[in-house]
């Protein structure tokens, strides 16, 4: 496990183990029982049918706590349910149909894309796009990293947040006594990121009701429910992390694939040009069939979160993988861990065909994977609440870029995807491309 993280192949290593030992196997890690599974039946039980018996708090609160504190990502039970209920207005239907604010950020991004044939790493720009967008609907103000005048302290926050996130990723993989826990820079970065967010908490607490925005802003909504600065800050950070990565990582991986498959780029651009010059909306771009195939295929091969774990909160079972034939139920005792690899699940040849390792968006024209075998955003009560907004914003950004540029060239000498395993899995080499502008 340690070697696979160091060699940037953690997801691939888990897949190799599941291929070798079967889609459910058990290990003993530092004296702790851990069951690995990529069986849809088991995932349905863990994420939905037996949801209350599997939690995240025993593992996540220690791992994520220094950065996120207690919130929807790190707690179970009543605390989690309360946090989840607070988020619903932010990811409401109204938010997903209003693209005016997002258009401003996308325009700024496109203005920074070179048109002279030079190489650009889209990963850096997509990270800024996601930060600008997510900060606006969470804090009420954008960080404006894509503008000429970023918000004061935004650049420093970005670097502190990135370092803290990498540290959390290491804590997630290693035991509690690992050396990274004593990394002073990690703790300083977490503290600085939390302090930066607190200024938006103070603004939310001091604002007047008559200045209420038409858009649902999480900081404002939380300030009406509680005056506890720490609770508001923690909830904001708990949502900020997945909201940012859901867009930044997905967009990077889409263009990583498009640069290596010019035929897919051409077909996708043909579909996009059929939109004409009418006003774009989230609904219109999400209705583009082949575009959604491209996004689905990217999420299949490169899920933003490659694997997740749960801890048994009491003695329970999962339905299959045990016994001599591997078809019997398995006892999961209180305190045992269960981990699934979405990366391995999405590449099973018995579910996705012999070419499951290949990037082929056309497969989705006929593919209807069995329930619980395609889980890019998880499943059950803990399914990502922002998945629809994330897909809408990703679709919109792709359309706007392909309307502006007629071609793409890969400028990365390494053709295969190299993992950078943090909390999420991003491309270690980014998405280095050349974009060819439309001739005027």
Determine whether 425 is exposed, middle or buried from the number of CB atoms within 10 Å of its CB (0-12, 13-18, 19+).
buried
Tally of helices (H runs) and strands (E runs) in the chain:
18, 12
Determine whether 19 is exposed, middle or buried from the number of CB atoms within 10 Å of its CB (0-12, 13-18, 19+).
middle
For 291, the token pair is 């575009």
Which H, E and C letters describe 298-323, residue by residue? HHHHCCCCCEEEEEECCCEEEEEEEC
Is the distance from CB of 109 to CB of 123 less than 8 angstroms? Answer: no
For 155, the token pair is 């650049």
434 is in an annotated binding site: no
Distance from C-alpha of 436 to C-alpha of 420, rounded to nearest angstrom: 28
Angle at 183 between CA 180 and CA 186, to 5 degrees: 100
Angle at 270 between CA 268 and CA 272, to 5 degrees: 70
Distance from C-alpha of 140 to C-alpha of 241, rounded to nearest angstrom: 16
Backbone angles phi, psi at 420, to 5 degrees: -120, 100
Distance from C-alpha of 64 to C-alpha of 169, rounded to nearest angstrom: 9
Closest residue by Cα to residue 258 from 397, 387, 81: 397
For 225, the token pair is 């429910």
Q: Which residues are annotated as a binding site for heme?
A: 384
Q: Which residues does the annotation place in the binding site?
A: 384
């Amino acid at each position: 496990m340690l070697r696979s993280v160091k060699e940037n192949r953690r997801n691939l290593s888990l897949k190799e183990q599941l291929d070798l030992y079967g889609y459910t196997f058990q290990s003993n890690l530092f004296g702790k029982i851990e069951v690995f599974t990529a069986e849809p039946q088991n995932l349905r039980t863990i994420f939905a049918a037996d949801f209350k018996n599997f939690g995240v708090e025993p593992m996540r609160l220690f791992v994520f706590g220094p950065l996120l504190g207690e919130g929807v990502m790190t707690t179970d039970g009543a605390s989690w349910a309360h946090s989840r209920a607070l988020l619903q207005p932010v990811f409401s239907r109204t938010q997903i149909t209003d693209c005016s604010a997002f258009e401003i950020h996308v325009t700024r991004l496109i203005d920074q894309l070179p048109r002279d044939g030079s190489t650009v790493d889209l990963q850096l720009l997509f990270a800024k796009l996601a930060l600008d967008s997510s900060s606006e609907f969470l804090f009420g103000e954008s960080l404006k990293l894509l503008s000429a005048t970023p918000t004061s302290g935004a650049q420093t926050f970005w670097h502190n947040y990135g370092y803290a996130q990498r540290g959390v990723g290491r804590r997630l993989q290693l035991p509690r006594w690992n050396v990274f826990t004593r990394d002073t820079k990690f703790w300083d970065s977490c503290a600085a990121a939390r302090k930066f967010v607190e200024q938006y908490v103070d603004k939310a607490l001091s604002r007047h009701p008559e200045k209420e925005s038409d858009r649902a802003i999480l900081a404002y909504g939380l300030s009406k429910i509680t005056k506890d600065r720490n609770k508001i800050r923690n909830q904001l950070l708990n949502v900020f992390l997945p909201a940012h990565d859901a867009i930044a990582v997905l967009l990077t991986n889409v263009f990583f694939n498009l640069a290596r498959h010019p035929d897919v780029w051409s077909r996708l651009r043909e579909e996009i040009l059929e939109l004409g010059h009418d006003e774009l909306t989230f609904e219109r771009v999400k209705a583009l069939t082949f575009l959604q195939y491209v996004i689905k295929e990217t999420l299949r091969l490169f899920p933003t979160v490659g694997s997740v774990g749960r801890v048994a909160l009491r003695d329970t079972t999962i339905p299959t993988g045990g016994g001599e034939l591997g078809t019997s139920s398995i006892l999961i005792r209180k305190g045992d861990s269960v981990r699934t690899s979405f990366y391995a699940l999405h590449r099973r040849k018995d579910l996705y065909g012999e070419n499951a390792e290949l990037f082929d968006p056309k497969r989705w024209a006929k593919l209807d994977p069995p329930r619980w075998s395609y889980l890019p955003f998880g499943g059950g009560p803990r399914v990502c609440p922002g998945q629809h907004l994330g897909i809408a914003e990703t679709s919109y950004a792709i359309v706007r870029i392909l309307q502006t540029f007629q071609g793409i060239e890969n400028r990365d000498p390494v053709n295969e995807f190299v993992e950078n395993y943090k909390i999420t899995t991003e491309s270690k080499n980014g998405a280095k491309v050349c974009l060819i502008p439309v001739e005027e």
